[in-house]
Amino acid sequence: MRIRVKMTWFRLCDFGVPAGHHSDTTTRVQIDLLPRAVPDSNHDTYLEQRGFKPECSLRIFDRSERRDLKRYGHWLQALADGTIQPESEDQEQFVDLVHNDERPNPEEGTGAYFADLWWRYQHRIEWEKDKAKH
C-alpha cells in the first residue's frame, strides 16, 4: 500500500524523499515521517526534476542505484555543490561525506548510502575522462 504525503513531509529512511515517491521494494532503514525543517526551500524543485542525464556509464551500478541516480540526480547534485542547503542530519552527513577523499561506507546511515553512490558516480566520471585521454 502506498501512502501519498504532501511534498512538505520527508521520510528520513529515504534521505528526505517524500513518502510514495520512493519505489525501492527494500527499506534500508525504518524511521518515522518528520516535517521538513524549512518549508519554503528549493528542495522540492530539484526533487521534482526528471531526466537526469548521467555523464558516465552506469554499468558499475546495480538496478536500484541506477534508478536512484536517475531519479534523484538533480537533487543530489544540488546538495553536493551547495546550490541547496541540507535540511536534515542525513543530508548534512551526505554533504560532509561527499567532499571527503575517502569512499564513504554506505552502512553508516542513509546519508552515507547516497554519499557513497554520488562518490562512486563522480569517480566514474573522472575515470572515464582519464581513460579517454589515453
Return the number of other C-beta atoms located less than 10 Å from residue 31's C-beta. 13
Residue 17: beta bridge partners?
11
Instruction: Work out the pLDDT band at 67, boundaries 50, 70, 90.
Output: very high
63-81 and 89-98 helices, crossing angle to 10°: 90
| Whole-number Å distance between alpha carbons of 78 and 20 | 22
pLDDT at residue 78 above 90?
A: yes
21 found inside a domain: no
Structural domain boundaries enclosing 51: 40-133
117 Rama sector, left if φ>0, alpha if ψ -120 to 50, beta otherwise: alpha
| Whole-number Å distance between alpha carbons of 91 and 114 | 9
Which residues in the chain belong to E strands, given as ranges? 9-11, 33-35
6 found inside a domain: no
pLDDT of residue 50: 87
pLDDT of residue 71: 93
pLDDT of residue 120: 93
pLDDT of residue 27: 34
Cβ contact 35:8 at 8 Å: yes
pLDDT of residue 74: 95
Digit-coded pLDDT (tens) for 41-66: 688 899 889 889 989 988 999 999 99
Eight-state DSSP code of residue 9: E
83 found inside a domain: yes
Cell of 125: 566520471
The total of structural domains in the chain comes to 1
105 found inside a domain: yes
78 found inside a domain: yes
Residue corresponding to grid cell 534508478? 67
